[in-house]
Amino acid sequence: MKKVSIHLLNLLTNNLFTLGILGKPHALHGYLYLNHDIYFRQFDLTGLHVFINGNSYEIEDFKKHLKERFLIKLKGLNSISDIEIFRNKNIYITSDQVTLYVAENLPWPGFFVDSKLNSQYFVKDYFYADKLIFLTLKDTEDIVVPYNTNFFSYENEELQLINFDLA
pLDDT digits 0-9 by tens, 24-62: 888 778 899 999 998 988 899 999 999 999 899 999 999
166 in any annotated domain:
no
**Which of residues 80, 97, 114 is at a domain's end?**
97
User: Domain containing 85: what range?
Assistant: 3-97
- Which of the residue ranges 49-58, 80-89, 94-103, 124-133 would you say has the lowest mean pLDDT? 94-103
Lowest mean pLDDT among 7-11, 19-23, 113-117, 131-135: 7-11
Asked whether residue 116 falls in the same domain as residue 73, the answer is no
- Using CB atoms within 10 A of its CB, is residue 113 exposed (0-12), middle (13-18) or buried (19+)? middle
- Is the CB of residue 159 less than 8 Å from the CB of residue 147? no
- Which pTM does this prediction carry? 0.78
Calculate mean pLDDT across residues 10-33: 79
Interatomic CA distance for residues 33 and 31, integer angstroms? 7
Which pLDDT belongs to residue 9?
44
Q: Among 44, 64, 97, where does a domain finish? A: 97
Say yes or no: 149 and 112 in one domain. yes
Domain identity same for 65 and 147: no
Q: Which of 97, 117, 135 is the last residue of a domain?
A: 97
Total count of domains within the chain: 2
3-state secondary structure of 123: strand
In this predicted structure, the answer to whether residue 11 has a pLDDT above a threshold of 70 is no
Residue 11 lies in a domain: yes
Percentage of residues of the chain with pLDDT beyond 90: 54
Q: In terms of domains, do 89 and 149 share one?
A: no
Are 34 and 90 in a shared domain?
yes
Question: Could you tell me where the beta strands, DSSP code E, fall in 4-151?
Answer: 16-26, 31-36, 49-52, 55-65, 69-74, 90-94, 102-103, 106-107, 116-117, 121-129, 132-138, 142-146
3-class secondary structure, 49: strand
The pLDDT assigned to 166 comes to 65
pLDDT confidence of 82, banded at 50, 70, 90? confident
* Residues 62 and 45 sit within 8 Å (Cβ to Cβ): yes
pLDDT for 69 beyond 60: yes
Residue 17 and residue 95 in contact, taking contact as beta carbons nearer than 8 Å: yes
pLDDT band at 7; cut points 50, 70, 90: very low
